[in-house]
Structure 1
Amino acid sequence: MKTVAETLTAHRSIRQFKADKIPQDVIDEVLQEAIMGTSSSGNLNSYSMIMTRDPARKQRLYELHGEQDFILQAPLVITFCADWYRTRQWLQLRGARDNFNNFLGYQVAANEAMLISQSVTLGFEARGYGICYMGTTLQAMQDIADYLDLPETCLPITTIVVGVPAERPDRRERLPMRAYVHDEIYQEPGPSDLEELYGAREETGWQRYMSMPHLRAMCEEGGITSLAQMYTSPYKYDPDAYAATSLRVLEALRGRGFLPSGLDLTQPDE
């Protein structure tokens, strides 16, 4: 088994998988280690993990996640949920005051769902399995919650697919460490800092896009001439789509009891 350092430095997002199943004892071992080794606020462990292996149910998740083929290839899909339902039922059983059905509760549980997801990811990768995170979880939050029969104050936060890799992609570049690490207080980057920090990333990232015929055609059609433009184009992280998705996420929070039912999500506060 790989060490933590070896696992981190070898990480790749895998999008092609072999059909090999993951033994149940391996899944149980990874999950138990992650649960025991992941920090939690008040040791309340405000998360749940939904395992999906059934082909028919994976088909529906495939549809909800924008029809990404690796969902059908991978033998296991795990949906990580911010979950206060279990804890709130326990509070009620013991005659305690209700809590956590509020936005702060959501923030705590969402953070814990991400923490446990990374621990699970490291556990599988240390054993030679590949994973890929799916940001589409937030875009389809309400529909996924309905499909998985999630109760009140329980919402999906992120999803991973797990399996034996059928590819070994190149490692994606990161910015220099000084872009992320600040000494004592936040150091705002100036134009020259940004040129230095993003120069190599812009060159290699743009070359990668241009090396793929379908992406190159999209950029040429849309008049996109730089990596930054691609990131906020209709083909990637469209600001208009982000605004619409943000409202859907807020509606999901309200529908699952994390926001007051009378809150107007379309109008700013006066």
Structure 2
Amino acid sequence: MKTVAETLTAHRSIRQFKPDEIPQTIIDEVLHEAIMGTSSSGNLNSYSLIVTRDPERKRRLYELHSEQEFVLQAPLVITFCADWYRTRQWLELRGARDNFNNFLGYQVAANEAMLISQSVTLGFEARGYGICYMGTTLQAMQEIADYLNLPETCLPITTIVVGVPDEQPERRERLPMRAYIHDETYQEVSPSELEELYAAREESGWQRYMSMPHLRALCEEGGITSLAQMYTSPYKYDPDAYAATSQQVLEALRGRGFLPSTPGLSQTEE
């Protein structure tokens, strides 16, 4: 098994998988280690994991996740949920005051869902399996919640697919460390320093996109001439689409009891 350092440095997002099944003993080991070893606010562990292996159920998740083929290829899909329902049921059982059905509760639980997802990811990657995170979880948050029968104050935050890799992609570049690490307080950079920080990324990232004929054609048609323009173009992270998805996420939070159903009112005022 790889060390933590070896696992981190070997990480790649895998989007092609062999059909090999993952033994149940491995799944159990990884999930047990992750749950036992991941930090939690108040040790309340405000998350749940939905494990999907059934081919027909994976097909529906494939549809909800924008029909990404690797969802069908990978033998295992895990949906990580921000979940206060279990805790709130326990509070009620013991005659305690209700809580966590608010935005702060969502924020805490969402953070914990991401923490446990990374622990699970490291566990599988240390054993030689490949994973890929799916940002489409947020885009289809409400639909996935309905499909997985999630109760009140329980919402999907992220999803990973897991399996035996059938590709060896190049490691994605990162900005220089000084772009991320600030000493004592946040250090803003000058335009010239920003140019220097992004120089290598802009060259390699743009070359990668231009090596894909369909993206190259779209960029030429749309007048996209740089990596930055690509990132906020209709072909990547479209601001208009982001605004619409943001509204959908807010509606999902209201629908699952994390926000007041009437904007501007607190839950105690309704």
The interval holding the TM-score normalised by the smaller chain is over 0.9
Q: Tell me, what secondary structure is at the counterpart of 1:131?
A: strand
Aligned position for 2:105: 105
- Which letter maps to 1:19? P
Aligned position for 2:182: 182
Aligned position for 1:162: 162
Aligned position for 2:248: 248
C-alpha separation between the residues in 1 aligned to 2:136 and 2:37?
27
How far did 1:96 drift? 0.4
Identity fraction in percent: 88
Q: Once superposed, which parts of structure 1, at least 4 consecutive aligned residues long, lie more than 6 Å away?
A: none
Q: Tell me, what secondary structure is at the counterpart of 2:80?
A: strand
Q: Tell me, what secondary structure is at the counterpart of 1:162?
A: strand
How far did 1:264 drift? 6.1
C-alpha separation between the residues in 2 aligned to 1:190 and 1:64?
42
How far did 1:156 drift? 0.1
C-alpha separation between the residues in 1 aligned to 2:249 and 2:154?
13
Matched, 1:124 2:121: no
Aligned position for 2:151: 151
How far did 1:193 drift? 1.1
Residues matched between the structures, number: 265
Superposed, 1:1-270 pairs within 5 Å as 1-263=1-263
How far did 1:189 drift? 1.6
Per-residue CA deviations over 1:70-119 (Å, capped at 9, x if unaligned) read: 00000000000000000000000000000000000000000000000000
Per-residue CA deviations over 1:178-233 (Å, capped at 9, x if unaligned) read: 00000011011210111010000000000111111111111111110000000000
C-alpha separation between the residues in 1 aligned to 2:232 and 2:212?
19
How far did 1:143 drift? 0.3
- Which letter maps to 1:262? T
C-alpha separation between the residues in 2 aligned to 1:79 and 1:221?
37
Q: Return closer, same or farther for 1:264/1:233 CA change in 2, 3 Å cut-off.
A: farther
Gaps of 5+ in 1: 266-270
How far did 1:28 drift? 0.2
- Which letter maps to 2:20? D
TM-score for the superposition, normalised by structure 1 = 0.97
C-alpha separation between the residues in 2 aligned to 1:183 and 1:264?
39
Which deviates more, 217-226 or 151-160?
217-226
Per-residue CA deviations over 1:119-169 (Å, capped at 9, x if unaligned) read: 000000000000000000000000000000000000000000000000000
C-alpha separation between the residues in 2 aligned to 1:189 and 1:110?
30
TM-score for the superposition, normalised by structure 2 = 0.97
C-alpha separation between the residues in 1 aligned to 2:26 and 2:264?
46
Q: Tell me, what secondary structure is at the counterpart of 2:68?
A: coil
CA RMSD of aligned residues (A): 0.9
C-alpha separation between the residues in 2 aligned to 1:252 and 1:2?
39
C-alpha separation between the residues in 1 aligned to 2:152 and 2:190?
45
Aligned position for 1:268: none
Which deviates more, 182-191 or 112-121?
182-191
Q: Tell me, what secondary structure is at the counterpart of 2:250?
A: helix
Gaps of 5+ in 2: 266-270
C-alpha separation between the residues in 2 aligned to 1:36 and 1:166?
30
Q: Tell me, what secondary structure is at the counterpart of 2:172?
A: coil
